[in-house]
Structure 1
């Protein structure tokens, strides 16, 4: 709220962020002869919720009575800007990671480390359906709206659970190492 020549209180925007998630990991190691085998699994789920609403603002100028404070007391603002839902994100991403590694003592002077890691980390999805992209090449929303008769600016809702971008699928990572103690 702003009363010209007297005071201005509050801000127009405020946001909140909440992060969290779940994580699980387990590893198994065993030795057989000159080999030391390690394998493991890791699950990671990230959740990010973010809201950035804009607040309603009132401006009182000396428009109706000649005094801005009198206009305030009478409830006659010269300008009102209504707030809106603003930006709201409810993103979630789940990742799965596995690995297998063999440390082989080939001789007293040589250890060979061979391993393979696989990471599956898809893009974030908006689990409540508030995010989409505009594809410039097609002129369409991607992912599309759930209800075609409604426009995004009327509802603020988009298709939930659909990634808003692609991702690389080159997720296999080989490991090779030599050690001479």
Structure 2
């Protein structure tokens, strides 16, 4: 038996991809990071991120086009909430310092990225017009990095049981994904 819910709650039943953290730098080099729940793969090396056009992150993307997208693990809820609790423009110094979020430097872009993420992707904006019009950020993955101890080279995928990604449910509530199942 099914229960009908309000249409404006559809996103809570149909979550996007895993929770992600998006990292950018402003024109003057100030780093910024935010949490986002609405995202999905678009192609084998392209991602879709849906962002509010008024966010500091959106302004940074418009001004620079490079971003780093990280997939945090289930033990990083505190960091996800900290990154999502304040706008970069409201920080007096550096959002990561003010919010006490540990970061490390991305390999090529040298952007801060949440330390210990399951994976991160160095990307460039692929369609500026789409982003300006709809807030849909279509990005091309330039470099992809995964935690080495969680990657199975033979299957070219995460190892069974290791992908403890988070999916947003409501407010500060998440569910975990990651148990690999097959039809064997």
* TM-score interval, normalised by the smaller of the two chains: under 0.3
TM-score scaled by structure 2? 0.20
Q: When you count helix as a share of all residues, which structure comes out higher?
A: 2
Greater radius of gyration (CA):
1
Relative CO higher for 1 or 2, CA cutoff 8 Å, sep ≥ 6?
Answer: 2
TM-score scaled by structure 1? 0.20
